Structure 1
Amino acid sequence: MPATDQLPYTILQWWIQTHQNTQLRLTGPMVIAGMLCFIAAAVSCAGGIGGGGLFIPILTIVAGLDLKTASSFSAFMVTGGSMANVICYMFVKSSKTRGKSLIDYDIALLSQPCMLLGVSIGVICNLVFPEWLITILFGFFLAWSTFKTCKSGVVFWKLESEEGRRNRFGEELGSGLVRGGKDGDDSTNEPLLCRELENCNLGIPWVKLGVLVLVWFTFFLLYLLRGNRYGESIIPMEPCGVGYWVLSALQIPLALTFTTWILYRRESLQDQSSPEQEKGKPNALSFPVMALLAGLLGGVFGIGGGMLISPLLLQVGISPEVTAATCSFMVFFSATMSATQYLLLGMEHIYIALGFALICFSASLIGLKVVHSAVEKHGRASLIVFSVGTVMALSTVLITTFGALDVWRDYTSRRYMGFKTPC
């Protein structure tokens, strides 16, 4: 057999051997995987995305974990990294935003219900779609998102350079760009619902945070009652029976109710403001639509929504720093949901997962410090955009390769490669 024909079989045999080890020990590959995850978390979380697109390939290819274990570990690792981001963004204010938080809680409010709904629909699609279709869709979509993200980074870089030429000493280099506006206009960083009675600019908006927690617990209770397609639930339920699908369908009116109420609240507050104050801001309806798309694709591809919604927010004109902070905040809610479900379903190797989460927590703090120090020093928020683009490009290559190996394995073993039923 020619060497070129034998290569796929050699790779396949190596792939099978690395997945035969079910005992998790502190081996050399595990240590190397931890180091690589540290670097991946530092770069990913600095850009406001979870990093699951890098964690899963590292854990499966380097450490030799099976996909199910790697996915559960990834949920904890994303939770740890996003927790560090949320702590920093909530309690540490930026000097360039005049003491305001970089997190736009209103974007999170408008997006979170539809993102959780999209994830649920995407997971069902993941069960139905064949592996080859998921791999092709993932490769095309993430390649397009990487291109658009890098293009946005180049645009921000050019604008920052132009601003630097206009400001000879560079003391206020990119001050308008960091806040998402031009010529010092920081209207884009103003929360969409900033005229509530709470003082949302000087502290934590507890009312909005409470609504987000309520959304989280409502969907979590629904997941808890529904269980999974194998009948694992807190109440007696037939696997994939009528009750399972009724509870699954309840997510649609639940997400629509929350989103409609938030939009109605925004419209009532917007009527009290002048048209000039609202001019130039993105349409509020675009955020739940983007979140639904990001959640849907994230569920299909098995990765977090931060990697998918970050390029969309940049495309509608949200500044890089606000995008990174807001995406980190949203990823924290979705990641904790996934991690909690893994715990309730009796995942194994919890302490190892917590160890990886601690690694990502520490790496995120370091990554945030390095990136934001560079932004403050050089006045280039585009560095955040380029960090997102780097993670997305690496994820495209790794996960596409990972999926291609699985497709080749299914093809050589003569497995069924068509569409499947969700149960």
Structure 2
Amino acid sequence: MSTKVFLIYLLSSFSAVALLFALFLAGISDFKHDASLSPPSLNHGSENDKVWPELKVGWRIALATVIGFLGSAFGTVGGVGGGGIFVPMLTLIVGFDTKSAAALSKCMIMGASTASVWYNLRVPHPTKEVPIIDYDLGLIFQPMLMLGITVGVALSVVFPYWLITVLIIILFIGTSSRSFFKGTQMWREETLLKKEMARQKATFVNSHGELLIDTEYEQLIPKEEKSSMQIFCFNLKWKRILVLMVVWVSFLLLQVTKNTVEVCSEWYWVLFSLQFPIALLVFGYEAVKLYRDYKERMSTGNMEYICEASIEWTVLHILFCALCGILGGTVGGLLGSGGGFILGPLLIEIGVIPQVASATATFVMMFSSSLSVVEFYLLKRFPIPYALYLTAVSVLAGFWGQYSVRKLMEVLERASIIVFILSGVIFASALTMGVVGIDKSIKMIQDHEFMGFLDFCSSQ
């Protein structure tokens, strides 16, 4: 009964807080005339479209700091970033235009994810002698995620606002519900495991069949304790990181070069198309590696998982991972988030333990968000003072979130807390983005604004 009460309380708390925040945002939007809620885009905008409030002490910056801190802390713990909360907060509370809000949201995601990665690199794997970041999953998802972000940015220019709102509600509610279901399953399994361990600790049968109560014994071979620096060096895999950096630099050069040519020109589409072979090359290399390793293990009868994901690396499952990576990136491009709203729940779904899922998702988001930040900086899409301030807040929040949740996990001995946080952040984002989006769509209908698909080339 206590478990059910806790779960109901947790869901109710997240729902109430998120709903109140969404209603607050929708209410104050009536007083904002400068903040536009058009879909976020990485493309050039008119200088007159920029709305950059002055960075000064006041209730707006104070509220934005609190929301940004909590969103970054819980978002990085769950491995989802928090872009679904940051963009409405920056537009409706602070007063930025949506393109600038999307750029600042990327800065916050980059700061929080970088802090989380730095913290996780100093943390050992909870069950195995392997790095806590699963580099195999990182290499299989990161290229497709970055490719999806590019596609999502292009679609954000074409899709009508109401359609993006509908997609947000359907996708976020679905992923948050599924994550919450997985969390409840893990909670029950952890409860059974704790009861079994308590029973074994309380009773112990010796070699003569005598029942001993509260018997204490020591391990014959004590576990070797590693220093923080040893754990840090062990968690770093430089060859894998170098491959990810090559993909990052390649996408950056293509994006920067693409923004210097005329939109929809021949060279524009050539540069846009070059992103596909780069992503597919890295993805294909890692997919073939996982497939061969899986076949070799099956032929020898070795049932040990190749990486953290407890799935069979067949062609069908590999294609499914590619599709999910592109989908996650597309959602990130549409919303100005890091794509973690798909990647985080997906890693949990395929059997990755919460600690590794969180560390791997934030590791991948660090690359995708930093790519966008560099491009936004070159396009001068955000004010430097605000970016530095909000990034600093997110960095502190990333450390605080990881430290606090891991301490809480040690006390409660439950890793499912990470899954509940992930589910809660996605659900809160669904409510905030959904309520604000519906409110904006209704106003567009009342004002007889165009509600159809836009032309990509003429909308740049």
8 Å contact kept, 2:65–2:393: yes
Structure 2 vs 1, CA of residues 379 and 344 (structure 1 numbering), >3 Å: closer, same or farther?
same
In 1, Cα distance between the equivalents of 2:200 and 2:92? 45
The corresponding residue for 1:206 is 238
Partner in structure 1 of residue 397 of structure 2: 363
The Cα of 1:318 is off from its aligned counterpart by 1.2
Provide the rounded CA distance (Å) in 2 between the counterparts of 1:200 and 1:39.
27
For residues 362 and 214 of structure 1, the distance between their equivalents in structure 2, rounded to whole angstroms, comes to 28
Amino acid of the structure 1 residue aligned with 2:354: P
Letter in 1 for 2:135: Y
Check whether the contact 1:99–1:202 (CA below 8 A) recurs between aligned residues: no
Structure 2 counterpart of 1:174: none
Alignment correspondent of 1:111: 141
Q: Which residue of 2 aligns with 1:81?
A: 112
**How do 1:173-252 residues align onto structure 2 when only pairs under 5 Å count?**
202-227=234-259, 233=260, 237-252=261-276
Distance 1:80 1:250 in 2: 29
Give the Cα separation in 2 of the matches to 1:75 and 1:412. 32
Task: Work out whether 1:125 is the aligned partner of 2:159.
Answer: no
Q: Which residue among 27, 32, 37 is the counterpart of 1:15?
A: 32
> Does residue 66 in structure 1 map to residue 101 in structure 2?
no
Give the drift of 1:17: 6.3
Deviation at 1:405, TM superposition (A): 2.6
Partner residue of 1:90 out of 121, 145, 152: 121
Deviations 1:182-237 (A, max 9, x none): xxxxxxxxxxxxxxxxx99934111111111111111111111111xxxxx1xxx2
Report the Cα distance in structure 2 between the residues aligned to 1:295 and 1:18, rounded to whole angstroms. Answer: 25
Question: Structure 1 residues 201 and 83, CA, compared in 2 at 3 Å: closer, same or farther?
Answer: closer
Alpha-carbon offset, residue 240 of structure 1: 2.0
- 8 Å Cα contact 2:84-2:335 kept in structure 1: no
> Is the Cα–Cα contact under 8 Å of residues 72 and 112 in structure 2 kept in the other structure?
yes
Residue range with higher mean Cα deviation, 336-345 or 307-316: 307-316
Secondary structure of the residue aligned to 2:264 is coil
TM (norm. structure 1) is 0.83
Residue 281 (1) aligns with residue 310 (2): yes
1:242 and 1:30 mapped to 2: Cα distance?
A: 44
Q: State the shift of 1:53 in Å.
A: 1.1
Q: Identity percentage over the alignment? A: 29
Structure 2 residues without counterparts, runs of 5 or longer? 1-25, 37-49, 202-230
Alignment partner of 1:330 is 2:361:
no
- Answer yes or no: is the 8 Å Cα contact 2:55–2:386 preserved in 1: no
Shifted more, 279-288 versus 295-304: the winner is 279-288
* C-alpha distance in 2 between matches for 1:114 and 1:88: 26
CA distance in structure 1 between the partners assigned to 2:176 and 2:435 by the alignment:
17
Gaps of 5+ in 1: 1-8, 172-198, 228-232
Aligned length: 379
Superposition deviation, residue 42 in structure 1: 1.4
CA distance in 1 between partners of 2:249 and 2:35 (Å): 38
Q: Cα distance 1:214–1:21, how it changes in 2: closer, same or farther (>3 A)? A: closer
Retained in 2: the 8 A contact 1:12–1:409?
no
8 Å Cα contact 1:123-1:300 kept in structure 2: yes
**Cα deviation, residue 267, structure 1:** 4.1
- Deviating more after overlay: 244-253 vs 377-386: 244-253
Three-state SS of the structure 1 residue aligned to 2:132 is coil
How has the CA–CA distance of structure 1 residues 289 and 283 changed in structure 2, closer, same or farther, with 3 Å as cutoff?
farther
The question of whether the paired residues in 2 share the 8 Å contact of 1:118 and 1:299 is answered with yes
- Which of the two has higher C-alpha Rg? 2
Q: What is the correspondence of 1:283-302 to structure 2 with a 5 Å cutoff?
A: 283-284=312-313, 285=318, 286-302=320-336
* Cα distance in 2, alignment partners of residues 218 and 22 from structure 1: 31
1:103-137, CA deviations, whole angstroms, 9 ceiling, x for partnerless residues? 10110001111111111112111111111111011
TM-score (norm 2): 0.77
Q: Decide which moves more: 255-264 or 205-214.
A: 255-264
Q: 1 CA distance for matches of 2:197 and 2:27?
A: 59
The answer to whether residue 275 in structure 2 is matched with residue 259 in structure 1 is no
Alignment of 1:393-408 (within 5 A): 393-408=427-442
Counterpart in 1 of 2:23? none
Greater mean alpha carbon deviation, residues 406-415 or residues 324-333? 406-415
Deviation, structure 1 residue 36: 1.7
Following TM superposition, by how much is the alpha carbon of 1:58 offset from its aligned partner in structure 2, in angstroms? 1.7
How far apart, in 1, do the equivalents of 2:405 and 2:438 lie? 34
CA distance in 2, matches of 1:137, 1:388: 19
- Structure 1 range deviating more: 264-273 or 131-140: 264-273
